[in-house]
Structure 1
Amino acid sequence: MRSWIWTLVLFVAAVALALVLREHGGNVLIIAQPWRIELSLSLAVVLALVAFLALHWLLRALNWLGSSPGRLRAWRGRRAQRRDVELLERGWINVLEGHYVQAEKDLSNLMSRTRSADRKVLAGLSAARALHLLGETARRDQALRLAQEGAGQDARLRQAVDTVTAEMYLDQNRAEEALALLEPLQDASARFLHGTRLLLRAHRQLGHADRVYELTRLLLRRGALDETQARQFIRESTAQRLAQVEESGWNAVWGDLSADERLDSDVALAGAQARARLGQPAESARILEASLGRRLDDRLLRLYAQCDAAQAGQRLGHAELWLKSNPDHPGLLAALGQICLAAQLWGQGEHYLERSLALRADTHIHALLGNLHDALGHPDQALRNWRLACQAADTDVPVISRLLPAADTRGDPRFEETDAVDEPAPPSAPHAVSGVYVQGETDADAIPVAAPAPEPPASTPLASGSASAEDDYFDTAPIPGVDMSQTSDHGAR
C-alpha cells in the first residue's frame, strides 16, 4: 500500500513540475571555456535531478562495498547464534522428554562451540541437569565447573550457577554445601523467592526448626508457597520448637501462633507435652481441652488421660461432656476409663474400658484392664488381659496353649551311663517344666525340645590328711601348659 502511495505522489510531483516549467520558457547558459552550452530550463532541471540521483546511488554503492566485511561478520554471527539456539532448544526438549543421553551430547557440543558466555553457561547448566538425572555425579560436577568458569565475574550468571548447583546438592541431601551457596543470595527484601524456597528445603533437611518457621512464614506472606504445604511445615517446625522450648521462650513460640494453629492436633500435642515437661499440668490440660473441643484425637486423649487423682475429677467432667456428642468413640471411652483408674473409680473405669473394648481391641485398652484387675486383686483376669495386650501388640507371635514333652536323653552319648546307675528310669513321656506344645499339634507329632544338659556336680573340698583324695585329685587334675591329647593314653585316666 505504501508503494502505491509513493508512486501516486511521484506522478503528482512530475505533473506539477511539468506545468511549472511549461510556464517558464527560459534558457540556461553554461560557459566553460572553450565550451558554451545552452539548455532549456526544463532540460536543465531534469538533468540536475538525474545527476543527483546518480550521485546518490553511486555513494550508496561505495558505502555498501566498504561495509561488506562487517556485514559478513554479522551474517556469520547470526548463523552461529541460530545454530546455538537450535542446539539449546533441542537439548532442553530432550531433557524435558527424558532423553538425557542425547540431551547431554547436544548441550556439550554447544558448550564447546559457542562463543557467547550466556549460552555457554546455559548449556553447561542444562548438561549438568541431564547428567544429574542420569546419576553421573563426576561428569555433572565437571559441567558445573565449566559453567562457573564461563560465568566469570558476571553476578547474574554466577547466581544462576549457584542456584542450580545448590538444588542438585539438595537432591543428594548435601544440605550444608547447598546452604553455603544459598546464604549469600538471600537479600534483606527476600525478592529471590526460588532461592528462599531452596533455603527452606535445606534448613528442613538440617532440622533447623526456627529457620524453617521463619522462611515458611515469609513465603506464605508472599504467596510463593502452597498454603497446605506451608501449614504442614509450620506444624512440624512448631512441634520441634516446642519440644526444646524453655519457660523463658514459651511466649515467643506459642504467642506467634494463630488461634487456628494452636488448635491443630500436632501443635496442641507438642504444646501440652512441653507444658507438662515444664511442670504445669493445668496449662497442659487447657491446651488439650481446646483442641479436643474441636476434634477428638486418640493421641491427645491418651495424653489427657495421664493425670493424678487431684486432676482426675476436672478432666473426667470435660471428658463426659465430649462423650455426650461422641458416645461410641473408642479412644474417648479408653481415656475415661484411664481417668477413672487415676481417681480409683474401679467400677466406672471397668465399665468405660469394656465399652471401648467392644468397639476396638488394642494393646492400650487390654493393658488398662490388666492394671485394673491387678489393682482389684484379680491376678487371673489381669494376666489374661496382659496376654491379650501382648497379642494385640504383635499379631505374628504364635499362640501357645499346652505344654510340649521334654526330650528323651537316654540315648545321648554325652550322658554317661554311670551317672544314671542309681537313678530310676524316666517315664515314657517325661514332661519338662519349661517345655511347651505348639497349638494344633498332637502328642504323636510333637517336636521334642532338647532339655538343657545337667550341670556337673559341684566339687567337694578335700579332707585334710586324706591321701586317697589327694592322689585322686593330683591324678586327674590337668597339668598346666601340657597338651594331654599328645600323650600315649590321649589324656584318658
Structure 2
Amino acid sequence: MKLWRWILLLVVIAALAAFCWHWVAEDPGYVLVRLRGVTVQTSLLAAVVLLLAAWVAAVTLWRLARWPFGAFSRRHRKVSQQRLAEGLVALMEGRHGDAERDLNRASRLGTLRGPALLAAAEASSRRGEHARALESLDEAAQVAPRAARVLRARVLRRDGKPAEALSLLIPEADNGSLSPGGWREYALAALASGDVRRARAALEPLQKSGVLGSRGYAALETQVLVASLNASTDGAVLNTLWSQLPKAQRRAPAVIDVYARKAAGYGLLLPAMDEVESALRREWSPQLVETYSVLAGDDLDARLRRAEGWLDGHPNDASLLLALGRMCVRMNLAGKARQYLERSLALVPSANAWEALGDLYTNQSDAALAQRCYRNAIALARGDATEPLPAAPIVGGRVDTRPVAIEERDSHGVPRLRE
C-alpha cells in the first residue's frame, strides 16, 4: 500500500476515534452487576474492554492448554510433508521403489492422502506392479475420483488392456466432462484398441485445452490421422475421410504420405500425385519426395522430368537425389541412376541409397557389387562401417560430390555476398 493510503487511513481512524470519544463522553452508560451479594458498577465502555480482555485471556489459556497435545499431530504433519516431497523427487529420479514407500507413508495424513496415493500408484505402475497401482487407485478414488479414473486408464493401457481403459473413460467422454489428461488417455487408448473414430473425437477438446502444447498436440494429431487413414478399407472410404478432414490436418507430411500410399494402392494414383505435388509446392519435405519416387504408376518419365526440375532449388538435397536415383533404376537408366545415388551417398550416407544402388547392380546382373551394396545398407542401418565399392566414382573422385552453392538474393533481388 502506498504512503498516501496509510496517511488517509490514519486520518479516518483519528476522526472516528474523536467522534466516538465525544459521543461516549456525553453519556458513558452505566452497567450494574450483582451476584451473591457482590455488586460491580462500571461504565459501558469499561465493561466492553473488560469482556474483550477476558475473551483474549480465555483464548490464550485454551491454546496453551492444547499445545502439548498438538505437538504429535504437528510432527506427523511435518514428517508426512517431508515424505511426500522425498517421494516425488524419487519418482522423478526413477527410484520407483523408494517413491512408492515414501508416498504410501505420506498418504496417512488426511490432507495429503489423495495426491500421495495417486503418485504412489504412478510409481507402482512404472515398476510394472500394475495390481498394486490399481489397489492404490481404489483408495485414491475416495478422495480424488476424477484423477484416479484417468490414472487407472493409464495403468490399464500400460498393462496391455487398452479396451478396458477406453471403456472406463467413455461415459465421461460422451457427456464432455473428461479432464484434459483424460482426453489424452482416451485418444491413446482408442488408438491402441483400434477405435480410430473415438481417437479423432478426442482431438478437438485436446486442441481447445492446449494442455499438450503445439508440438505435443501436432504429434498426437498426426498419429491419430495416420491410424485413421491406414484403417480405410477401400478407396471410397479413404476419399470420404480425406475430404472430411480440415485443411490444417491435411498439411502434415506424414499424413499426406499415408494418404498418397493408400490411394495409390487402391488405384487412385492421380489424386495421390496431386496431393504430394501440391504439398511440395507449399513446403519442401524429404519424406514426400521419397513418397513421390516410390508410388506405382506408368508416368515415371513425366515424374522424373518434374523431379529433376526440383534440383534447381534443392541441388544438395540427398533425399531428392535418392528419389531421382530410384526412379532411374525403375526406368533402367543405369548411368543417371548411378550418378544420382553416388552423389546422394556422398552428401548423406543412408541405407536406402545403398539398397537402391544394390537394385541397380542387380538389374545389371552384377551380383558381387549388388551384394556388397546390400551388405553396406545393413551395416549402415546397424551403425557399422561400410565397405566402399571397388573403383566406384564415389571413391575415385570422377563425380563431383561437393555441395552446389546456391545464389542467395535479398527481398529486392540483389545477390548477397558470401562471407
Superposition TM-score tier, normalisation by shorter sequence: 0.5 to 0.7
Superposition deviation, residue 270 in structure 1: 0.9
Alpha carbons of structure 1 residues 251 and 104: separation in structure 2 relative to 1, 3 Å: same
SS class of match (1:50): strand
**Residue of structure 2 equivalent to 1:279:** 267
Distance 2:369 2:341 in 1: 11
Alpha carbons of structure 1 residues 107 and 284: separation in structure 2 relative to 1, 3 Å: same
Superposition deviation, residue 107 in structure 1: 2.2
Alignment of 1:23-422 (within 5 A): 50=41, 86=78, 89-98=81-90, 100=99, 103-104=102-103, 106-110=105-109, 121=114, 124-125=117-118, 127-129=120-122, 132=125, 137=130, 139-148=132-141, 150=142, 157-190=144-177, 192-245=179-232, 246-259=234-247, 261-293=249-281, 294-297=283-286, 300-301=289-290, 303-308=292-297, 310-340=298-328, 349-361=333-345, 362-373=353-364, 379=365, 382-395=366-379
Alpha carbons of structure 1 residues 339 and 14: separation in structure 2 relative to 1, 3 Å: closer
Distance 2:311 2:133 in 1: 61
Distance 1:237 1:52 in 2: 81
For 1:125-172, what per-residue CA distance to the aligned partner results, in whole angstroms no more than 9, with x for missing partners?
455455556665555444333344x45xxxxx4334323433444454
Alignment of 1:465-480 (within 5 A): none
Alpha carbons of structure 1 residues 14 and 126: separation in structure 2 relative to 1, 3 Å: same
Alignment coverage as a number of residue pairs:
342
Alpha carbons of structure 1 residues 134 and 94: separation in structure 2 relative to 1, 3 Å: farther
Deviates more, 1:192-201 or 1:250-259: 250-259
The answer to whether the 8 A contact 1:186-1:192 is kept is no
The answer to whether the 8 A contact 2:107-2:114 is kept is no
TM score, norm. by length of structure 2: 0.63
Distance 2:285 2:261 in 1: 17
Alpha carbons of structure 1 residues 222 and 353: separation in structure 2 relative to 1, 3 Å: same
For 1:408-436, what per-residue CA distance to the aligned partner results, in whole angstroms no more than 9, with x for missing partners?
xxxxxxxxxxxxxxxxxxxxxxxxxxxxx
Task: Read off the aligned partner of 2:172 and give its amino acid letter.
Answer: L
Task: Read off the aligned partner of 2:139 and give its amino acid letter.
Answer: L
Task: Read off the aligned partner of 1:92 and give its amino acid letter.
Answer: L
Distance 2:323 2:185 in 1: 43
Distance 2:248 2:31 in 1: 92
Distance 1:15 1:333 in 2: 102
The answer to whether the 8 A contact 2:304-2:324 is kept is yes
For 1:354-403, what per-residue CA distance to the aligned partner results, in whole angstroms no more than 9, with x for missing partners?
21233145333323422543xxxxx4xx334423333323347999xxxx
The answer to whether the 8 A contact 1:212-1:233 is kept is no
Task: Read off the aligned partner of 1:196 and give its amino acid letter.
Answer: W
The answer to whether the 8 A contact 2:293-2:323 is kept is yes
Unmatched segments (≥5 aa) in structure 1: 19-43, 152-156, 374-378, 400-493
Alpha carbons of structure 1 residues 233 and 143: separation in structure 2 relative to 1, 3 Å: closer
The answer to whether the 8 A contact 1:169-1:178 is kept is yes
For 1:2-45, what per-residue CA distance to the aligned partner results, in whole angstroms no more than 9, with x for missing partners?
99888766753565359xxxxxxxxxxxxxxxxxxxxxxxxx96
**Residue of structure 1 equivalent to 2:26:** 16
Alpha carbons of structure 1 residues 207 and 109: separation in structure 2 relative to 1, 3 Å: same
Alpha carbons of structure 1 residues 123 and 82: separation in structure 2 relative to 1, 3 Å: farther
Alpha carbons of structure 1 residues 360 and 204: separation in structure 2 relative to 1, 3 Å: same
The answer to whether the 8 A contact 2:257-2:291 is kept is no
Superposition deviation, residue 327 in structure 1: 3.7
Alpha carbons of structure 1 residues 88 and 187: separation in structure 2 relative to 1, 3 Å: farther
For 1:35-74, what per-residue CA distance to the aligned partner results, in whole angstroms no more than 9, with x for missing partners?
xxxxxxxxx96869937859978xx79x99xx99xx89xx
Superposition deviation, residue 274 in structure 1: 1.2
Alpha carbons of structure 1 residues 7 and 266: separation in structure 2 relative to 1, 3 Å: closer
Superposition deviation, residue 326 in structure 1: 3.0
Distance 1:240 1:263 in 2: 16
**Looking at CA atoms only, which structure, 1 or 2, has the larger radius of gyration?**
1
Distance 1:272 1:232 in 2: 19
Distance 2:324 2:117 in 1: 65
Distance 1:228 1:193 in 2: 16
Superposition deviation, residue 350 in structure 1: 2.3
RMSD of aligned Cα (Å): 4.6
Unmatched segments (≥5 aa) in structure 2: 1-9, 34-39, 91-97, 346-352, 388-419
Distance 1:264 1:179 in 2: 27
For 1:90-111, what per-residue CA distance to the aligned partner results, in whole angstroms no more than 9, with x for missing partners?
343222222626633642543x
